[in-house]
Each structure stands twice: as C-alpha cells, then as structure tokens.
Chains A and B, each alone.
Chain A
Amino acid sequence: MTASYKEPLIQVRGLEKVFRIKGGMLEKKQNLRAVRGVSFDIMPQETFGLVGESGCGKSTTGRLILQLLRPTGGEVLMEGKNLASMKGRALKEQRAKMQMVFQDPYASFDPRQNIYSAVSEPMVIYGLAKTKRERREKVAQLLADVGLNPDAMEKCPHEFSGGQRQRIGIARALALHPQFMVLDEPVSALDVSIQAQVINLLLEMKSQYGLTYLFISHDLSVIKYICDRVAVMYLGEIIEMADKETLFAQPLHPYSQALLAAAPKIGEQRTGEVLTGEVPSPIRPPKGCAFHPRCPHARECCKQVPPVQKLPDGRLIACWLYA
C-alpha cells in the first residue's frame, strides 16, 4: 500500500507549534512547545497512525495539518501545495478535501441542530447540492452508508448513543467526499462492543471512498489493527516511525518498548519492568533526548539531541542506541 513510486498526499516538514501560556498571576508568559519539528509523509490511501500518551502533541499535530491551528514553523504540503501559507478562499477550497472526526461524539455537534442540518451544512457552505431535495437525498445516502436509518435526519444529537453519534460524525466528514481525514481518537470514548463497530465502519468507508487516514490514538492495539504505518510521539517529537509490522514485531526505541510493554494484554499476566516516572512538562522539556530521564538505557551522550537514523528495515529512529 505504501508503494514508493507514488507521490505522498500529505507531506509534513519540520512542523512546530509553540503555545504562549500564562503562568501564575505574576509570572511571565511561557512557551509551551507542543510540537517540535515533526516530519512525515502520508501516502494516498494509507492509514498513518500517531500514537503517544497525553500531552505528546499528537492531537495538536493533527490540527496543525488541517490548519485548525496555525503552525509556528514548518510546512504542511497537500498534493505539493503548502497549506501553512494559505489563507481565505484558497484554504477554504483545500479544506473541502480534508476533514476531521473528533474524539467526543457528544461535544462535536451543535446541540441545537438536527442531524439533517448538521450533515448537510458542509454542502451548504460549499454550495454542493443546490436544492433542499438534493441535499436530503445526499444526507439519506450518507446516513445509510454509515449504517443509520435515514429517519435519523429529523432527530437531534442528544437522542443518539455515543456510537451512533460517532457514525453521524463520520457521515458529516464524508459529506464533501474528502481525500484525507484526520481521526482524532475516534473510538476512545466508546464502549468496547461499539468500538469494534466503528473501527470496522472506518475501514469500510476508507475502501468505499478511497480515503487516506491520519489516525491518532493512545491505544496501541487499535493503532495496530487499523494503521499501515505508525509514528510514536513523545513530548512533541517523533521518536520512532516504521511500518506497523516492523514496529510491533520489534520496537527498538526504549520508549516504544515501554509503551508496548505497559499496554495490558488480554490473557497475559504482566511481565517485565514498568516504566518509572512521569512525562516531563513540555514547558521545560529535558535537554537532548527528551526521554532520557526515564530511559533505562540512558547514557552520558543522551544529553545531546540524538540523530534521526534510517535503519535497513526502513524504520526511522531517534535514539543514541542505534546511532
């Protein structure tokens, strides 16, 4: 799927985001570096996974790509055009090609809109379907695609369960027939038996609409199930990136190893060491390798920034152990 002769759909180059945040009442404003020089490519029709713990910058990265947040550095290219420098009409036109599905299916709908107006609103914005009848037909079609009864149109979001709302969220994102979708923890808020339904739906929609996904999650097993390639993030940086098979068969970065070991597995008692300590504050990230204060293999050289290495199996890794 990641055939190398194709041009990447999305190219992210040295993406940076600095938030200015207020400290205490008398303190000066501080810089929170949420994303620190992230680069990757997403091939057409690929599912690219971003995995990491809270505060690692994975959701921010997704929003930076869609220009919902404007990057403070770096480029985001879609089909070769730099989105980061686009404004107004040009950006709006580009937006139609990329959509987002949010984590919280309860908060992502205007409580005053019924399902018909929520799903048809993108069509109205872009003037796609001219008449109300056309729009109703399209909405009915979209709802059927995501496995809902078209009767749902007249109802309000609060009448649906979490799983159904997530289906509606997917229908809304599909309304403009985008090429690219950012899925920000789309199943994390759902019950286990509903999660699987939504995951399968996402896979179906991907093949039906020929979509490219950026899948953001903290759940390794979901990432492994759905993604083709995976990048592991820690404190705003990608520390390891590889094909799913390569990464999950043998994670090399000590943090990837710890993350995989920490995820509880069904039918297995825990073995091995538990990672100690907590993620440091992104206001003052550790010097050099951000992971070195918690790393069991940390050495003196880890206080320098590790180079990004490309290993023979195609994986990229930022760790002194492999330099």
Chain B
Amino acid sequence: MNDALLNVKDLTITFQTERGELTAVDHLSFDLGRKETLCIVGESGSGKSVTALSIMGLLPQPAGRVTNGSIRFQGQELTGLTNKQMQGIRGNRISMIFQEPMTSLNPVYTVGYQISEVLKKHKGMNTKEAMRYAAELLERVGIPEPGKRVHSFPHELSGGLRQRVMIAMALSCDPDILIADEPTTALDVTIQAQILRLMETLKQDLDMSIIFITHDLGVVSQISDRTIVMYGGMKMEERYADGFFDHVQHPYTVDLLGCIPTSSLSDGKLMPIPGMIPSLANMPGGCRFSNRCRRAMSACHETIPELREIEPGHWIACHLEDKEAVL
C-alpha cells in the first residue's frame, strides 16, 4: 500500500496524568488512500479523537505524546517534525474541522476576515484577493448570499452555517486530507444531512481524502469507504469494502449494533452491552473488550488478539478467529 496518502503504523499515544502514564492509543495502524473516506468509529475513550489530533500534531501539550510508531504523509514522516515544520502542513495539506465550530472561530472577527487570514498566510494573497476568494469559498460550501456573509460575525450564523464556514476555511488551501472530528454531532438531523452531502460533493470535486471521526454508526454507513472500529485505544475491526454493516464480525461491533434502535418498525428488543466503558487507567488485560464480551474465552483475558484478515479487505482482532485459541 505504498500509493496510500497517509500511512499510520503502530501508532501509540500516551498521556502523562496524575495517575501515571496512560495509553490512549495502542499500536494503531491504518492507511488512507486517495479520494477515500475513512471512518473511525468508537465510543468515548476509544482513542479516535486523539488519533486525529496526533496526525495534526495537535496533541495536548505537554501531557500527550506519540511514544511509538510512525505517521507518514506522502512518504514524509510527521511524528518527529517541529511545530514550525508542522505548520507548513497543518491547515495547508491536512485540515481539520471540529464538533463545535463556535469554539474554533474567533468571535471578534468576521468570517471573511478569518478565512482571508489563512489565505494570506498559506497562499500569499493580498487582502483584496483573499476576501474575494473567501466569498467564493463560502459559495462553494453552499452558504447563501456569500458576498454578504463574508462580513458576518460567527455569532450571527446558525450552527449549520458555522460548520460550513469551518469547512470553507479548511478547504481554503486545497488540502489533500480533511480530518473531521464529529462535525455533525452538534447539528440537527436535517442540517447533518446537508453537511454530509456537502462533504461528499466536495470530496469528489476537490480530490480530497477524508478522515471522519464519529460515534454514529448511521453516519458511517452513509459516507464510509473504509471503516475502522476502535475500542479502548485499539482497532477492533476494519473493512475496506462496501457492506460493512452486513459483514460485521467482531463481537464488539456486533453487540454495538444490537444497542441501536433502528428506524424500521420491525426491530427486536435492544440488547445492551453489559457493564461500563473501562477508563484508560484500568483497562482489562488481554482483549480490551474481554470484560464485557458475551463470547469471551480464557485466552481473551490473557493475550491481546492479533489483527487477522478474515476475508479480503476485512480485518478483525478477536481470538474467536484464532482456531487454536478456540480449541
């Protein structure tokens, strides 16, 4: 997979806390191809957001650090870069949007000004060009009356429009990768549908790859080309093919689907996963899901299962796939 845009290999991220060093992401590997939408799904504490931040070089300092593994972007190693070198890539080649757009926009400047700042910095445009291009970008992300909206302040816009502004800002330098961390979680469903459709269109138009971080399996099934399910900082299942939800294999993913009421009328009773999501400080030994798994065996509590390819383009990390362990 050398043609991949981004290779993440054995990525391990730890946080220094009062309770000692905690591992938030443990030996995570994945590739992101060109024009691909990679969805990383997981519940809180799964390490999905931390992974995104580490790619951007935005881990909370000084607590968080990458202790192992590599992140290669078009062959260039990102983990060792200084903050200054990273700034040339961040916002330029790799952009990110967040769950709550209000906190990432400065309330005292107009949105046009904020977008043009990025353009001036990375593209060397002058103020006039930058403002004009900012309006163009707003139009591209589907904001009505872009000529007027460039002069709006963030608080004058609705949540959906603000997220569009954030996308416009992220797109301002034609990035190769757009990382979206729960971009639609704070939005209403009808607005969410608009934003998802917008991202799909932009991806096609701009030859972008998207890393989409979410907890919403419904969203995943709409946009994903490649899906990674994370739990407790580790990858549980990955599928690079259509029909992820028809082929889920890992007990965690299977059980998670059993927790979600569907909107069809004919669903059965919900089957909750028992127990709580373990905190980073007391992860169970062996498979991270072993203490909540209905099918856990003795091996599950002892060793961490390896990732195995069970069919082309589909990997799971579970001892049930390991014939020796089952016997």
Binding site for B on A (CB under 8 A): 53-54, 161, 163-164, 191-197, 199-200, 218, 220-222, 224-226, 245, 248-249, 258-270, 274-276, 278-279
B276, A164: Cβ atoms closer than 8 Å? yes
CB pair A195–B259 under 8 Å, yes or no, is yes
Q: Is the CB of B245 within 8 A of A221?
A: no
How many angstroms from the CA of A276 to the CA of B164 in the assembled complex? 14
Give min CB distance, A253 to chain B, whole Å: 14
Q: Which residue of the partner chain A has the closest CB to B246?
A: A267
- Total number of B residues with any Cβ neighbor in A under 8 Å: 45
With A192-B217, A193-B273 as given contacts, are A220 and B263 in contact (CB-CB < 8 Å)? Answer: yes
Task: Give the chain A neighbours of B259 by CB distance below 8 A.
Answer: 192-193, 195-196
29 contacts between A and B (CB under 8 A): A53-B189, A53-B191, A163-B276, A164-B276, A191-B44, A192-B256, A192-B260, A193-B292, A194-B277, A196-B273, A197-B272, A197-B273, A199-B261, A199-B270, A200-B269, A218-B188, A222-B261, A224-B261, A224-B263, A225-B261, A245-B265, A259-B190, A264-B218, A264-B221, A266-B217, A266-B257, A274-B194, A275-B190, A275-B194
| Among B216, B220, B270: residue with most chain A CB under 10 A | B270
Once bound together, how far apart are the Cα atoms of A224 and B266, in whole Å? Answer: 11
Q: Chain B residues with Cβ under 8 A from A193's Cβ?
A: 43, 255-256, 259, 272-273, 277, 292
Q: Give the most central of A192, A268, A270: most B CB within 10 Å.
A: A192
CB nearest to A192 among chain B residues: B259
Q: How far is the CB of B237 from chain A (nearest CB, A)?
A: 15
B279 → chain A, closest Cβ, in Å? 8
Interface string of B207-234 (1 = CB under 8 A from A): 0000000011111111000000000000
Kindly name the residue among A54, A248, A264, A267 whose own CB sees the greatest number of chain B CB atoms within 10 A: A264
Are A196 and B271 neighbours in the complex by a CB distance under 8 Å? yes
Query: Does B43 contact A191, Cβ atoms closer than 8 Å?
Result: yes
With A191-B277, A197-B272, A222-B261 known as contacts, the answer to whether A270 contacts B189 (CB < 8 A) is no
Q: Does B160 contact A (CB under 8 A)?
A: yes
Residue in A164, A194, A226, A266 whose beta carbon sits within 8 Å of that of B262 in the complex:
A266
Q: Which of B166-211 contact A (CB under 8 A)?
A: 188-194, 196-197
Residue among B188, B222, B267 facing the most chain A CB atoms (10 A cut-off): B188
Q: What number of A-B contacts does a CB cutoff of 8 Å give?
A: 126
A9 to chain B, nearest CB (A): 25
Give residues 253-302 of B contacting A (CB, 8 Å): 255-265, 267, 269-274, 276-277, 292
Query: How far is it, in angstroms, between the C-alpha of A248 and the C-alpha of B219 when the chains are bound?
Result: 20
Cα–Cα distance between A221 and B266 once the two chains are bound (Å) = 12
Residues of chain A lying within 8 A (CB to CB) of residue B192: 262, 264
Distance A224 CA – B260 CA, assembled complex (angstroms)? 11
Residues on the B chain within 8 Å of A164, using CB: 276
Q: Mark B133-165, 1 if CB is under 8 A from A, else 0.
A: 000000000000000000000000010110000
- Residues of A near B261 (CB, < 8 A) are 199, 221-222, 224-226
Chain B residues lying within 8 Å of A221, measured Cβ to Cβ, are: 260-263
Cα–Cα, bound, A279→B192 (Å): 13
Query: A260 CA to B264 CA in the complex, in Å?
Result: 10
Please give the distance in Å from B210's CB to the nearest CB on chain A.
Answer: 16
